[in-house]
């Protein structure tokens, strides 16, 4: 059985001055690389063969396979364990004929159609799925920005259809900062990638041995935020714990709702901060234990996209929860694309939106091509008013499963869904629709409950339910003594305060 956990692809153009090509490769092999691909783009045939022999001696000593990129003649000449072909190289079926049935054959796939072809032929042993993230190492890639985990998951859906187990590794832009996320996010029910392939993270590292050891550890570890703890729901207790911990809710939110969101946060006993200064995010994350982030796409711009991205990286790295509010993400292609980029860049804890927004996010899920029935439903989601409860929950569940998040669907009835659970909350008031920011500020409330337990293993689903319950209860209570939006706004704030103090 071939172990694809950490697949080193070599490159002789990025060796640190203090080292040599062979030293880098040897260090990596001796420190845990589980499979090696020799990828040389400019060596003469003789030099390639000599280098291949040298590397083969090292891999054989460790008992790991050596794969030769593209050059089947070289692979045969030195009796390497396998060959890897790209889409512009020797077609996989011809490569298989030449190398015989026992050698390992790998194929690069960048789009689902290329995986379809591999699945149809059933002759490859593994596929390299990429480009995962932007990379400087390879120039002629199909998607220079990277397909991200969303794209990899779509390709996994196709691999899953194959009766023969075709292994897979993600490749492109993978390094110590994202390898655990890649492993966590590149999975669908019943199928996950078998490892990561890296070039520069090892070949360009001054200590290739240490880089390899650390990468192996990162690849094998679950990201800290991945742990879910199941608890009995006790909303009153969660409110008490939230107010006691006085969480800080960092908003990067839209201009229309900043003031109201800050007031809601204060009313429930948490503290708001509205910062778009990316340099200070790390300071927040290090200094404040009870911290969460609310990312709201309501008034987006190009600069803000970069800031969102940095914030996601920092908050993931420090294990702080994130509430993502993809406001109006179905309104334009650009907004949905922005949501795709952000969801690809890291892991959010909760996605909160109305039925239209969550249905749009659903279009990004890997199950998009799964069945005719889904395709028909997809086409129908432009008229979200037609969606009944069963369909809303199906959509929310698929989003939750694919993005490994909790999904909150707001509306007259609110649905909170995760991989295992579903919670329905009625209440609120129609006056909530007549004040700006009542949807967005629910994100603040959820953020406060999540932030209260940041950094610990906790049941984020229950915290989300408690937040939505509180918010709706305040809405219902406030509407008892007014039927006009202006006074409702003040009373709503009062009720939030009373229910938490």
Residues found near ligand 3NM in the complex (CB under 6 A): 9, 108, 128, 130-131, 135, 137-138, 141, 171-174, 198-201
Angle at Cα 284 formed by Cα 320 and Cα 219, nearest 5°? Answer: 40
Give the pairing of strands 271-274 and 291-296: unpaired
Q: Judge contact between 449 and 466, C-beta under 8 A.
A: yes
- Which residue's CB is nearer to ligand 3NM, number 107 or number 448? 107
Least separation in angstroms between residue 478's CB and ligand 3NM is 53
130 Cβ neighbours under 8 A, 6+ residues apart: 108, 110, 141, 146, 147, 170, 171, 172, 197
Q: Which residues pair with 354 in a beta bridge?
A: 410
CA distance 501 to 490: 17
CA dihedral over 19, 20, 26, 29, signed as positive or negative? positive
119 Cβ neighbours under 8 A, 6+ residues apart: 158, 159, 161, 162, 166
Least separation in angstroms between residue 204's CB and ligand 3NM is 7
Dihedral, CA of residue 399, residue 404, residue 409 and residue 415, to nearest 10: 110
379 Cβ neighbours under 8 A, 6+ residues apart: none
- Which residue's CB is nearer to ligand 3NM, number 98 or number 145? 145
Q: What is the 3-state secondary structure (H, E, C) of 225-248?
A: HHCCCCCCCCHHHHHHHHHHHCCE
- Which residue's CB is nearer to ligand 3NM, number 199 or number 454? 199
Least separation in angstroms between residue 154's CB and ligand 3NM is 15
Least separation in angstroms between residue 201's CB and ligand 3NM is 6
Catalytic residue among 109, 186, 440, 445: 440
Q: Over the range 277-292, which residues count as b (16 or more CB within 10 Å of their CB) and which as e?
A: ebeebeebbeebbbbb
- Which residue's CB is nearer to ligand 3NM, number 203 or number 314? 203
Among this protein's residues, is 440 annotated catalytic?
Answer: yes
Helices (H), 349-388: 355-362, 372-380
Least separation in angstroms between residue 253's CB and ligand 3NM is 33
Least separation in angstroms between residue 422's CB and ligand 3NM is 38
From 243, 398, 261, 397, select the one nearest 323 (Cα to Cα). Answer: 261
- Which residue's CB is nearer to ligand 3NM, number 200 or number 476? 200
- Which residue's CB is nearer to ligand 3NM, number 155 or number 285? 155
Least separation in angstroms between residue 198's CB and ligand 3NM is 4
- Which residue's CB is nearer to ligand 3NM, number 198 or number 465? 198
Catalytic residue list: 440
């Amino acid at each position: 059985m071939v172990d694809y956990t950490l697949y080193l692809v070599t490159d002789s153009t990025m060796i640190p001055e203090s080292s040599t090509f062979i030293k880098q490769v040897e260090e990596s092999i001796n420190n845990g690389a589980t499979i090696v691909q020799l990828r040389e783009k400019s060596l003469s045939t003789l030099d390639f063969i000599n280098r291949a022999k040298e590397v083969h001696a090292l891999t054989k000593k460790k008992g790991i396979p050596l794969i030769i990129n593209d050059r089947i003649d070289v692979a045969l000449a030195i009796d390497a364990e396998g060959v890897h072909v790209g889409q512009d190289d020797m077609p996989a079926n011809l490569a298989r004929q030449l190398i015989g049935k026992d050698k390992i054959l790998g194929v690069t796939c960048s789009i689902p159609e290329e995986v379809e072809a591999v699945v149809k032929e059933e002759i490859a042993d593994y596929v390299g799925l990429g480009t995962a993230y932007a990379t400087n190492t390879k120039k002629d890639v199909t998607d220079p920005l990277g397909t991200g985990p969303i794209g990899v998951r779509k390709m996994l859906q196709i691999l899953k259809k194959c009766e023969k187990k075709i292994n897979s590794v993600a490749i492109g832009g993978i390094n110590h900062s994202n390898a655990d996320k890649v492993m966590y996010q590149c999975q669908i029910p019943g199928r996950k990638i078998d490892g990561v392939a890296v070039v520069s993270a090892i070949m360009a590292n001054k200590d290739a041995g240490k880089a390899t050891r650390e990468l192996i550890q990162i690849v094998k570890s679950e990201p800290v935020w991945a742990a879910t703890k199941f608890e009995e729901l006790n909303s009153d207790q969660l409110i008490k714990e939230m107010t006691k911990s006085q969480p800080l809710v960092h908003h990067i939110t839209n201009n229309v709702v900043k003031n109201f969101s800050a007031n809601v946060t204060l009313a429930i006993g948490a503290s708001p901060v509205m910062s778009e200064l990316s340099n200070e995010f790390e300071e927040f994350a290090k200094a404040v234990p009870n911290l969460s982030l609310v990312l709201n796409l309501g008034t987006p711009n190009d600069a803000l996209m970069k800031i969102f991205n940095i914030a996601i990286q920092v908050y993931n790295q420090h294990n702080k929860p994130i509430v993502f509010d993809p406001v109006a993400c179905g309104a334009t292609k650009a907004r949905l694309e922005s949501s795709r980029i952000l969801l690809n860049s890291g892991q959010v804890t909760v996605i909160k939106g109305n039925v239209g927004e969550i249905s749009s996010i659903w279009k990004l899920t890997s199950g998009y091509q799964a069945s005719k029935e889904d395709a028909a439903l997809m086409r129908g989601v432009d008229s979200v008013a037609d969606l009944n409860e069963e369909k809303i929950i199906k959509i929310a569940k698929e989003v939750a499963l694919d993005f490994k998040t909790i999904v909150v669907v707001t509306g007259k009835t609110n649905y909170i869904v995760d991989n295992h659970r579903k919670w329905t909350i009625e209440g609120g008031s129609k006056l909530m629709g007549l004040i700006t920011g009542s949807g967005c500020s629910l994100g603040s409330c959820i953020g406060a409950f999540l932030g209260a337990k940041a950094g610990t293993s906790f049941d984020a689903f229950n915290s989300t339910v408690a937040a939505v319950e509180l918010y709706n209860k305040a809405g219902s209570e406030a509407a008892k003594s007014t039927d006009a939006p202006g006074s409702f706004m003040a009373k709503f704030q009062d009720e939030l305060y009373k229910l938490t103090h």
